[in-house]
Amino acid sequence: MAPWVHQYMFPDGKMFPCCQSAEDLSVNLGSLSSGQTLRDIWNSEASKELRRNMLAGKHSKICEGCYKYQSLGKKSSRQEFNEKFAQNFDVVLDTNEDGSLDNFDLKSFDYRFSNICNLKCRSCSHHFSNKWFEESKIIGTASGSEKSIIYPVDHVDTLWEQIKPTLNGIEAIHFAGGEPLKMEEHYRILERLIEIGNTKVLLTYNTNFSDFKYKDKDVLELWRHFKHVSLLASLDASGKRGELMRKGLQWENVVENRKRLLKETPHVLFKLTPTVSIMNVLHLPDFYEEWLELKLIQAKEIIAYLLFEPYFYNIVNLPADYKRKIEDRYQAFFEKNKQRFSKSDSDYVNGQFAVVLNQMHQEVKEMPKGYYNGHDFKSYNAILDGTRNESFYEVFPELVGVV
């Protein structure tokens, strides 16, 4: 359903059917930075071909991300869109023979307005955090001719004038970044939705959950107006581990933010969404159990995201003996869940962690040549330790001699 109801925009203006499809940035539906508009890209040649392929049951290269997730037993964006927008299936029946649609009747969007972020996570890059820019130049993944902050268009009002007419009929908006709670455009959209009375819209977020304040705005005050708000909190580990993985994070603030959310806006749904990598895979059950014990989450409030790149952080590259250690830890965790949870809760939680094991046991591939300017796990972390005045192996001693 995504190509019939949804648009996803990368921070540099490239457009895709959804966020999972942006694996190869050269394979896209069009680009705002080239002068195209949102409406132009809705019926671009690539968009029309994608719809024709889907109707014919043919695979498309742009959808490799969904195929990969489904092969691991993980629900893909394609499946989620099909469930969420099943009521809009009539638009599929109205598709023209060439794959075009007569109306630009957008029901959902995920526009990354920039790479502005207040953190610089070890698994991230300059594409999604302006804080990464100087280090990206040192590593060799950004050049001095590039800009620190990436925007899809030269003037923010140019994009706003295209988005504004869609807000009356929009049903779902996903905000991510960068960090969406640090972006002016995010607040502009919420205030406009409140102004026109479209507060039934489903708002979902990928957020680092570090700060609810932006200039003179408190996002909780705005969320009170909306019936459906769902937060996917990008938190990978607690304490010093969490702070090292997401540089700039202050763990005490995270815990206080969760308590405030529970107290002041209990209607806002929340899930932990750790990005699972070599850094946190062993301790992920401990992190989950810690938040359970603190009553900061309930059983099903977790979604495990799999890290595929940078490839040297991918858990598939762990040595066999360390994988066995993880396997043993997870199997004990699975048995414990069967005892303490209902079958429904146990099946859900164990399913999330089982996908991690599935990924871990995938075939190891050779590091692509030139990948991250030739850096591997050790050299990459050594650079970041130096620029950030940190010590990776002091915080993760269990990985000494492993990677």
pLDDT digits (tens, 9 = 90+) for 104-147: 999 999 999 999 999 999 999 999 999 999 999 999 998 877 89
Phi–psi pair at 269, nearest 5 degrees: -75, 150
pLDDT for the residue 97:
97
* Interval 85-110 mean pLDDT: 95
pLDDT at 18 over 70: yes
pLDDT for the residue 157:
87
Which of 303-307, 338-342, 372-376, 390-394 is least confident? 372-376
Confidence of residue 168 (pLDDT cuts 50, 70, 90): very high
According to DSSP, the β-strands at 246-247 and 120-121 are antiparallel
pLDDT for the residue 147:
92
* Interval 293-312 mean pLDDT: 96
Spatial distance between the Cα atoms of 8 and 351, rounded to a whole number of angstroms? 28
pLDDT for the residue 213:
97
pLDDT for the residue 76:
83
* Interval 316-328 mean pLDDT: 98
Average pLDDT, the chain: 95
Spatial distance between the Cα atoms of 245 and 249, rounded to a whole number of angstroms? 9
pLDDT at 5 over 70: yes
pLDDT for the residue 165:
95
pLDDT at 75 over 90: no
pTM above 0.85, yes or no: yes
* Interval 147-167 mean pLDDT: 92
* Interval 81-102 mean pLDDT: 94
At 257, the amino acid letter reads N
Spatial distance between the Cα atoms of 6 and 387, rounded to a whole number of angstroms? 40
Which of 137-146, 326-335, 373-382 is least confident? 137-146
Sign of the dihedral defined by the CA atoms of residues 240, 125, 271, 277, in that order: negative
According to DSSP, the β-strands at 305-306 and 213-214 are unpaired
Instruction: Return the higher-pLDDT residue of 79 and 36.
Output: 36
Instruction: Return the higher-pLDDT residue of 370 and 365.
Output: 365
* Interval 225-250 mean pLDDT: 98
Spatial distance between the Cα atoms of 237 and 215, rounded to a whole number of angstroms? 28
Burial code (b: 16+ CB inside 10 Å, e: under 16) for 184-216 equals: ebbbebbeebeeeeeeebbbbbbbbbbbbebee
pLDDT at 22 over 70: no
Which of 20-29, 174-183, 273-282 is least confident? 20-29
At 151, the amino acid letter reads Y
